[in-house]
Structure 1
Amino acid sequence: MNVIEQRRDFHRYPEQGFLEFRTASIVAQTLKKLGFEVLCGKEAMVPEARFGVPQEEQLTKAYHQALKQGADPLLLKRMQGGNTAVVGIWRGGEQKSPIAFRFDMDALPIKESEEEGHLPFKEGYASCMTGSMHACGHDGHTAIGLTFAEKIAEAAPSQTIKLIFQPAEEGGRGAVSMVEKGILDDVRHLFCLHLGLNLPLGEVHGGISNFLATSKLKVIFKGIPSHAGASPEKGANALLAASTALLNIHALPRFSGEKTRINVGVLEGGTAANIIPAYAQMILETRAESWEVNEELKKRVEKIIVGSGAMHGVQTKMEVIGEATTAASNPELMELVVEEAKKVQGFTKFQLESNSNLGSEDATFMMRRVQEYGGKATYMIIGSPLPAPHHHHRFDIDEKVLPMSVELLTRIAKSVCNH
C-alpha cells in the first residue's frame, strides 16, 4: 500500500485507546517484514502505568473483532489485555544513541458523518466500526510512520532509529506506560508530529511549546435507592450530588496568571423516573499552562466533589484516568525541521515555533524524559486544510500532506544520521 491507501485502511477500521489490536498488529507485522526489531505488548509498555484502561468486556470484544478483520493471531496474543504499544528498532552499526519518531494510533468515540459531502463516506472508506472514528488525524500519523519505515529500510542507515507507535493518546492515557518501560531512556533526538491544526497545506512549524498540562478525572457517586414518591427521604440521591458538583466545578474561578480550562464532559446516572438515583458517574478534565496550577485545580475539584457528596449523604471516589504535562521543543530541532522542510516540494511557508492552540498532548511525557536524560525533542506541526475541526464528525485531512510528511521525516532522519 502507498501512504494514502494505508491511511484509508486505518480510517475505515478506527480503534479507540488500548483497543488498537488490528492497527497495532498491522504496524508490528509491517515493521517485522521490513527488518526492524519489534517490541510490542508488555515488551513496549508497563501495563500498570496505563490510565483509563477499558473494561474487560470491551477488550475481549475488540480483540476478537481484530481477529475477524485479519489481525495476526500470534501478535495479538502479545497484546492481550489492551497492551497495544509497538516499537520498531532499526539497528544501525554505529554505537550512537538512537533517534526516535513517535506516532499515535488511536481513534475517538465519535460516529462518523454520512453526509454526501464528507469525502471518506463519498469514497467508501468511512468508519465501519460503530461509534468510533479517526477524527484527529492519527490514521494519517500511523500511515506516515509505516511508510517512513519503508524509506528507512531502503536506505539502511548505520544509525539506530526507533519508531514509537503509541496507543491511547486521546485522554492522555498511553504515553506514560511507554516512558516507564524505558523506551525513551537512550534516545538522543525525539521527533513528534501532528497534522492539521488549522494550518494550510504547505505550512510547517518546527515545534510547539505551549502545551497545557491536563488531568482527566472519573468520579463515582454512590447513594441509596428509594421510592421517589412513597419514601424519597429514605434515599440518598447520587445524581443530585453529581449535579451539585458539576455546577460548582464550572463555577471555579479562572486563574489570573495563566490560561486554565475545566470541562465536565460526561454526567450519567439513575435508572428510572420513580427511583432515587443510587449511582452516578462524572468524567471531567482540568487544564492549565503549568503543572502546578493544574494540580491546584485538581485539588479544588476534589474538594467540591467531596463536599457535594457530603451535602447529599453520598459516597464519592475520584480516579485519575489520564494526564499530560507541559514541555518545550528544543530550538536546534525546530530549526532542523524547518531547514529540511524547505527542501520538500509542496512546503511553502515556514515558522520556527508554533503558536497553534494544540491543547494537551501526552507526548510531553516522552519529550521531558528525553530532555531529562540529556537529549532533545520537538513536536512539529504539519498543515492540512480541514473541512471541520478536530474531534468533529466531519473531520478529514487533505491527503496530499501524507507523502510530503514522509519525505520530510526521511530528510530529517538522513540529516541527523549524517551528523
Structure 2
Amino acid sequence: MNEPIQDRLVSVRRSFHRHPEPAWREFVTTARLVDELQRIGVDELAVGPDAYDPDDRMAVPDDEELEPWLDRARERGTDEALLDRMAGGNTGAVAVLDRGDGPMIGLRVDIDGLFIEEATSDEHAPAAAGFRSEIEGTMHACGHDVHMTWGLAVLEAIADSDFAGRLVVFFQPAEEVGGGGCPMAESRFVDDLDYLLAIHVGLDHPSGEVVAGIEKPLAMCHVDVTIEGTSAHAGKAPEEGDNAMQATGTAIENTYGIPRHSGGMTRVNIGRAEVGTASNVIADRAHLEAEARGETTELMEYAKTKLERVMRSAATMHGCRADVNVVSESPRADSDPELVDLIVDAVSDASGTETLVPTADFGASEDATFLMERVQENGGLASYLIVGTDHPTSHHTPTFDVDESSLDHGLSVLLETIRELEHRHPLARPEDEP
C-alpha cells in the first residue's frame, strides 16, 4: 500500500475491476478510495453527504435494493463508521489539495459499474489473468476502474510536486444512470473553480490517441412509466377490464412515431417493458423504462415532453392511467475552445501521445455536463478529454477491456494539462484580446 500509485497503476485498476458496484451502491469502492486518499494525505476529504446534498441525487435505489450491497460491504470488512456515513446510498467522495495561490482546477472521474455479466472465456483478458468481476451480474464495462485509478494517481503526483493552486478531484457515483453529476455540480466544491476537466478512456479511439475536448454530447433524460388499468377474466368478461397490455402496445408504437425536430437531432427509446401475469388475465399494470435525448438541452426537453404526452394519451385511450417519472437527466455542455487549445499544446509531447485530435463529436450522453455547465456559468472553462485505448469490443459489453498501457498515457495527459494550466493561468479569452 505504501508503494506509489504511479508504480502500481495496473494492480490498482485490476483491484477496482474485481469489485464493480452499480449506481449509489459503490460502498466498497468508496471505502477503497478513502483508504488510498488518506494514505496520500489530501487537505480535505468529503464522503457522501459531506460531498453533496443527498436531496440533489437522481435515480436513487430504494433501501431494499441497497441492502444486499451494504451486506456485501460488511462481509468484506468495510469500516462500519464509513458505512454509516454512506447510509441511504450516499457514496462517492471529493478530495482537495490546497497548495497556495494559483488556479483552482477540478477533475471529475466516475466510479460506478454496470449490471452486465462479465465474460468467462480465456480470450477475455480479465478472466484469463484472474481479475474478472467477483460479483456476478455486475461489471466495469465502461472503464470507470481506469478513471478512478487516474484520479488517485493524479492526486498523489500533484501532492508530491511543487504545484501551486487548488486541485479538487470528484470521485462521482452513479454516472451510468445520470444520477451523480447534478449533486456534485451543486456542491460547494465547484463554486470557485477556474477550470474543470473530465476524462474518459477509449470510446473507440485507439491507444495513443487523445481527444482534447468533446463537442455535442447529447442532453438526456431517463423516464420510468407505470400504467395502471383494471384486471378482468380474459374469457368470461374481457369488457370489464382496462387493458394495460393494449395501452403499453400503443405507447410503444406511438413513441417511435414522435416527430423529429427541424432544430436538430433527437432520440427516443423504450428499453424495457414488463406487463401482464397470465394469458387469461386482462393485464392491470405495466412498467416501462424509456429515454429521450437531444442535440441540445432544448431539443431533449422537446422529446421528453412528447414522450410524456404519448404515455399519458396511450393510457387514457384504453381506460388506464399513466404515472410518468423523470428519473434523471443531464444537459448538453461543450468543451471550451480556449481550454482545448491549451490541452493540445500540453499533451502533444506527453509520454504515449501518438495522435492528437483537438475536438470530436461525442454522440452519447454524460452527466459530467452538469459540472461543466456550472463551471462555465460561473465564468470558468471546462473540457471533456478522451484518452484512447485499444479494446476488443465496445463499451457496455461482456468482453469490454482496455489496453493497460493507456493507464500511464492518461496519467501523463492529465498531469501535463494541470501543470500547463498552472503556468498559463489565467487563460486569455477571445473577448480579452485587443
TM-score (norm 2): 0.93
TM-aligned CA deviation for residue 358 of structure 1: 4.0
The equivalent position to 1:55 in structure 2, one of 55, 62, 79, is 62
Cα RMSD over matched residues?
A: 1.5
Structure 2 distance, partners of 1:258, 1:343, is 37
TM-aligned CA deviation for residue 301 of structure 1: 1.0
State the Cα deviation string for residues 339-360 of structure 1 (Å, max 9, x = none). Answer: 22222222111011123x3411
Alignment coverage as a number of residue pairs: 417
The equivalent position to 2:417 in structure 1, one of 402, 412, 419, is 412
- Aligned-partner SS, 1:183: helix
AA at the equivalent of 2:122: E
| Alignment of 1:281 onto 2:301 | no
| Alignment of 1:300 onto 2:306 | yes
AA at the equivalent of 2:67: T
Structure 1 residue ranges without an equivalent (≥5) = none
- Aligned-partner SS, 1:245: helix
- Aligned-partner SS, 2:282: coil
| Alignment of 1:186 onto 2:189 | no
Structure 1 distance, partners of 2:148, 2:363, is 19
Structure 2 distance, partners of 1:220, 1:97, is 48
- Aligned-partner SS, 1:415: helix
TM-aligned CA deviation for residue 30 of structure 1: 1.4
TM-aligned CA deviation for residue 97 of structure 1: 5.2
State the Cα deviation string for residues 358-389 of structure 1 (Å, max 9, x = none). Answer: 41111111001001111111001111112111
2:31 aligned partner: 25
Deviation larger for 275-284 or 187-196: 275-284
1:255 aligned partner: 261
| Alignment of 1:379 onto 2:384 | yes
Structure 1 distance, partners of 2:80, 2:348, is 43
Deviation larger for 246-255 or 65-74: 65-74
1:207-286 → structure 2 map (5 Å cutoff)? 207-286=213-292
Structure 2 residue ranges without an equivalent (≥5) = 425-434
Q: Is the 8 A contact 1:354 1:381 kept in 2?
A: no
Structure 2 distance, partners of 1:313, 1:402, is 56
TM-aligned CA deviation for residue 275 of structure 1: 2.0
Q: Is the 8 A contact 2:267 2:303 kept in 1?
A: no
Structure 2 distance, partners of 1:71, 1:410, is 31
2:82 aligned partner: 75
1:130 aligned partner: 136
AA at the equivalent of 2:47: C
Q: Is the 8 A contact 1:97 1:186 kept in 2?
A: no
- Aligned-partner SS, 2:120: coil
The equivalent position to 2:343 in structure 1, one of 337, 341, 351, is 337
| Alignment of 1:200 onto 2:200 | no
**Alpha carbons of structure 1 residues 321 and 358: separation in structure 2 relative to 1, 3 Å:** same
- Aligned-partner SS, 2:233: coil
Which ranges of 4 or more aligned residues in structure 1 deviate by more than 6 Å?
Answer: none
State the Cα deviation string for residues 161-186 of structure 1 (Å, max 9, x = none). Answer: 10111111112111111122232111
Q: Is the 8 A contact 1:221 1:239 kept in 2?
A: no
Structure 2 distance, partners of 1:25, 1:360, is 28
AA at the equivalent of 1:59: L
- Aligned-partner SS, 2:211: strand
Identical amino acids, percent of aligned pairs: 38
Q: Is the 8 A contact 2:108 2:197 kept in 1?
A: yes
- Aligned-partner SS, 2:382: strand
Structure 1 distance, partners of 2:253, 2:371, is 35
- Aligned-partner SS, 1:418: helix
Structure 1 distance, partners of 2:421, 2:271, is 42
Structure 2 distance, partners of 1:152, 1:247, is 54
Structure 1 distance, partners of 2:243, 2:127, is 44
- Aligned-partner SS, 2:270: strand
Q: Is the 8 A contact 1:223 1:238 kept in 2?
A: yes
Structure 1 distance, partners of 2:350, 2:357, is 15
- Aligned-partner SS, 1:416: helix
Q: Is the 8 A contact 2:170 2:184 kept in 1?
A: no
AA at the equivalent of 1:386: H
Structure 2 distance, partners of 1:116, 1:46, is 44
Structure 2 distance, partners of 1:76, 1:372, is 35
1:48-197 → structure 2 map (5 Å cutoff)? 48-94=55-101, 96=102, 98-155=104-161, 157-197=163-203
1:361 aligned partner: 366
AA at the equivalent of 1:314: C
State the Cα deviation string for residues 240-273 of structure 1 (Å, max 9, x = none). Answer: 2122101110122222331211111110122223
- Aligned-partner SS, 1:267: strand
TM-aligned CA deviation for residue 39 of structure 1: 0.5
| Alignment of 1:402 onto 2:376 | no
**Alpha carbons of structure 1 residues 198 and 39: separation in structure 2 relative to 1, 3 Å:** same
**Alpha carbons of structure 1 residues 358 and 139: separation in structure 2 relative to 1, 3 Å:** farther
TM-score (norm 1): 0.96
- Aligned-partner SS, 2:232: coil
